[in-house]
Structure 1
């Protein structure tokens, strides 16, 4: 299981939100590139990035911060938030991003996801953010009547590299991930599923890994707060 340390970007800074509320942002580092380097130096194999402003704006906003991070890293990075057309996808991949995460467009323009996955094999993931099992879009501001599992199944044959599943009610709340829902999704599709939202202890990582169905886990606040020791977490995930 791969551990993805998260850097959420708001106004050029590394922050964490609670339940996706922009007003709840806590700044953890005003130098996101330095934070990315620290994760890499600690032994992380990937870094997970989110352009929070971009998710609401529908286009990249924290581009300078992302480019600085990419310039600081030698390990791969994935990015979600405000990526909603082929030009933006192509632009990010050409700048050294290893994987784009498509969320809102997976609901609104699923054909774009399929086209992107065909054009850039292995470099396109789908972000499925759900509240009580129902998908939310546009920075979690709009709820849909689509279930997370139904949305995931739409891309079963599309060639997407991964699904990042976020339980919004758990995100940033340090209350543990929704292991049951994430495992159920992972078993419903053949696409690798990465858990996100609420991963706040080594025990959480152990529970996710014990399912033998979940391919990765994203953690942010717990790493910044010290609730998870990064070295121990990497050892657990790789064991």
Structure 2
């Protein structure tokens, strides 16, 4: 079980949203690279970064900040948000990012994602409202079930799938374990839970499933609901 501390970027600041609503953004740090260093000092080996502005715009908009995060730490960094073509994938990897998350494009052009997965370290991001895939920064909800999309990447060579229940995200109400397991079983690849972590018990619950390989922790840390240093010491 890998714990991925999360840094969501909006206009260069580290923020958290509730249910993906940009209007709900709460700023937690004006220097995200220092925040990343703190995570490393606690024992993190991975960091999950999302360019929120990029997710809505369809192109990366926080490159300077992400570059600073990579430069200031030794963390493995996975980045998502507005990455829709090979050039942008290469830009991030050349910057030192460990792997790239493809979300909206995974629904619109799964063959492109499969092709990229043969060349680069790619993670698929599947975000869902009521079980159906949401894209464009969660602004659009499709008629495609999240589990059906996951199935398309079963033998695609992707590094993993991050699945988010948007109704849980940023709400501190607990992870949707059943939804995460559904994605894991459909895809057969490493699956990372996202959305709703409220404390260490949620992490233990996910770890005990065996099928779930990681969990993203955001607001639970920022709101003081979880001691990440302790959590890292228990799950590594």
Smaller-chain TM-score bracket: over 0.9
Measure how far apart 1:74 and its partner are.
Answer: 0.8
Alpha-carbon displacement from aligned partner over 1:154-185 (angstroms, at most 9, x marks no partner): 01111000100000000000101101111122
Aligned to 1:74: 74
Aligned to 1:146: 144
Q: Aligned runs of 1:88-99 on 2, under 5 Å?
A: 88-99=88-99
In angstroms, what is the RMSD of aligned CA positions? 0.8
SS of residue matched to 2:8: strand
Is the 1:86–1:112 contact (alpha carbons within 8 Å) kept by the matching residues of 2? no
**Alpha-carbon distance in structure 1 between the residues aligned to 2:112 and 2:32:** 30
SS of residue matched to 1:115: helix
Aligned to 1:60: 60
SS of residue matched to 1:33: helix
* Structure 2 unaligned residues grouped into runs of 5+: none
Q: How many residues align?
A: 236
Which of 207, 215, 230 does residue 232 from structure 1 map onto?
Answer: 230
Aligned to 2:103: 103
Is the 1:206–1:236 contact (alpha carbons within 8 Å) kept by the matching residues of 2? no
Measure how far apart 1:186 and its partner are.
Answer: 1.2
**Alpha-carbon distance in structure 2 between the residues aligned to 1:148 and 1:118:** 22
Report runs of 4+ in structure 1 exceeding 6 Å deviation: none
Aligned to 1:13: 13
TM-score, normalising length: structure 2: 0.98
* Structure 1 unaligned residues grouped into runs of 5+: none
Is the 1:80–1:100 contact (alpha carbons within 8 Å) kept by the matching residues of 2? yes
TM-score, normalising length: structure 1: 0.97
Is the 2:148–2:186 contact (alpha carbons within 8 Å) kept by the matching residues of 1? no
SS of residue matched to 1:227: coil
Query: Larger deviation: 183-192 or 197-206?
Result: 183-192
Aligned to 1:114: 114
